[in-house]
Amino acid sequence: MLRDAREAEDAVQEVFVRACRHLKKVPSDDLGALKWLYRISTNYCLNVVRDREKRIGSLDNWPEPAQPDAERGLLDRDVVRRLLTQVPKKLRAPAVLYYLDDMDQSGVAEVLGISTRTVINRLNDFRARARKILAGRGRVRPGKKISSG
Amino acid sequence: MNDRGHLSADVLDGYKLGILPLDARAEVESHLSACPGCQAAFRAIEDDYQVFQESVLPRTAFDVVKRAQARGGSRGTAWRLWVALPLAGATVAVALLVVILTSVDTGNGRGAVRVKGDPALRIYAKRGESVFTVRPGDRLRPGDRIRFVIEPAGSRYLLIVSQSATGALSLYHPPKAAGSGELRPGRAELPGSIELDEAPGTERIISVFSNSPLLVEEVMESLRRVGDKPPTAEEITGARHVVVFDFEKELP
């Protein structure tokens, strides 16, 4: 998600520190703990991406596949990654867990502590916005947002 | 397995950590034996584990524990985690760090592993008017055209070779050359594209990064010696880093 090894290392350290600080919140079973860690690490990395975007604009300057259609585009992790900064915050973590971490909807719900219905709605919202972005521009431009209406 | 027929990252992490129930473990092993995409994803996780334990942990653990204590974490807890990290494969602490490392996809999909300082290879395919990123294990068709995008990460020369399902080797980059092509610093899209032929089965793209030019024939000879398994930099004289990328070719 971060696509930067240095930031990744920093993220590892920061999440480790947060985990130590909130150890009482960590579920006692291993699988529960793993999901808890997915949640805080995903949120932390999304914040890093957001801050980076604000600071210097997107670093995502890979050559882009020409004219990806929306459905195909969402199968492309690179496209999903670019879309993350162009959709509302509440859609980002579900999109990361579903499209980048390959979880199913119930798994995303479990990690984020929200209902499966909410996950489905947010993923639908994410897809709708992705279609709009991809159809409107033919490609994903970093740093531009579409309206939430 | 998710609704797209693949294993999710948390399941693969859980498998690697040895924390899955027995039935889930058996399911993962069964799926891994048949799915090249998930095999590549799992290899990436294993590589990340290794990098973490050998490189990141020794360098950062002390400062991290100090920071954890400074922020109010229990001294005992922080030190216990620190001690547990290199020793145990199935601790929450390891999971934490593995989760982060494995979620930090550096633009190579789940398969083309790239850690700090390593070169990376990315493949784009064009079918008709549609262009898409190829992931390890993807199914391509004869007539599809592929292009390569690389990040040299300090390497100065590159050779890209294709290995067909029958083991036949072909030079992809630089085309018709006797040795490695020189690279400029920074991310680059290699010129030209390759049209895939009709030979079905797994095609392996082997990119050999080096600091000095390598002779095509010598690299080919090394690859013939390695045979079917993915080659490593140690097996190719002069190679600094080798990135292996497998995809399937099927008839339309």
Q: Which amino acid is at B152?
A: P
Tell me how far CA of residue A131 lies from CA of A128, A146, B4, B130, B145, in angstroms: 5, 11, 20, 16, 25
Q: What are phi and psi of A16, to 5 degrees?
A: -60, -45
Q: Residue B119 corresponds to which tokens in the numbers above? A: 């070169």
Contacts of B166 (CB under 8 A, 6+ apart): B199, B201
Q: What pairing do the DSSP bridges indicate for beta strands B130-134 and B139-140?
A: unpaired
Cβ–Cβ below 8 Å for A13 and B64: yes
Tokens of B174: 């630089």
For A91-123, the pLDDT digits (tens) are 999 999 998 888 999 999 999 999 999 999 999
ipTM: 0.75
Chain-centre distance for alpha carbon A33: 20
A4 neighbourhood in chain B, CB within 8 Å = 104, 106
Domains of chain A: 5-137 (1.20.140)
- Chain B hits for A69, CB-CB cut-off 8 Å, are 130
**Interacting residues of B59 by C-beta distance below 8 A, sequence separation 6+:** none
- For residue B173, the surrounding DSSP H or E stretch is strand B169-173
Q: Which residue of A has its CA nearest to B66?
A: A17
Check whether A145 has a pLDDT greater than 90: no
**Would you say residue A80 has pLDDT above 80?**
yes
Beta bridge partners of B35: none
Amino acid A116: pLDDT: 94
Question: Do A20 and B109 lie within an 8 Å CB cutoff?
Answer: no
Residue in B19, B105, B149 closest to A34 by CB: B19
- Put simply, the answer to whether B130 touches A69 (Cβ < 8 Å) is yes
Measured in residues, chain A has a length of 149
**How distant is the alpha carbon of residue B228 from its chain centre?**
17
CA distance B194 to B174: 12
User: Given B73, B92, B101, which is nearest A8 (Cβ)?
Assistant: B101
pLDDT score, position A3: 66
Reply yes or no on whether the pLDDT at A148 is more than 80.
no
- Under-50 pLDDT residues of chain B: 75, 79-116
Q: Does A137 contact chain B (CB < 8 Å)?
A: no
Half-sphere exposure of A45 (CA within 13 A, CB side): 32
Predicted pLDDT at B216? 93
> Which among A14, A16, A18 is the top mutation candidate for probing chain B, defined by the most B β-carbons within 10 Å of its own β-carbon?
A16
pLDDT over 70, % of chain A? 71
CA B82 distance to own-chain centroid: 28
Beta bridge partners of A32: none
A30–B92 CB contact, under 8 Å = yes
- Give the per-residue pLDDT at B107: 37
- Between the alpha carbon of residue A145 and those of residues A55, A63, A99, B167, B198, the distances in Å are 16, 20, 20, 48, 43
- Among chain A residues, the shortest Cα distance to B68 is held by A17
- Residues of chain A in contact with residue B9, where contact means CB-CB under 8 angstroms, are 38, 100-103
Contact check, Cβ <8 Å, A78/B107: yes
Q: Could you give the domains of chain B?
A: 9-103 (no CATH), 120-249 (2.60.40.2550)
Q: What is the sign of the dihedral through the CA atoms of A8, A9, A10 and A15?
A: positive
> Is the Cβ of A32 closer than 8 Å to some Cβ of chain B?
no
Is residue A139's pLDDT more than 60? no
Q: What is the pLDDT of residue B229?
A: 87
Q: Tell me the per-residue pLDDT of B111-157, one tens digit each, with 9 for 90 and over.
A: 333 444 578 888 888 887 777 778 887 889 988 888 888 888 778 89
Q: Read off the pLDDT band of A39 (50, 70, 90).
A: confident
Residues in B touching A16 (Cβ below 8 Å): 64, 68, 81, 93, 96-97
User: Chain-centre distance of CA A67, in angstroms?
Assistant: 22
Q: Please give the DSSP secondary-structure letter assigned to residue B54.
A: I
pLDDT at B91: 39
Chain A residue with CA closest to B41: the answer is: A101
pLDDT given for residue B206 in this prediction:
94
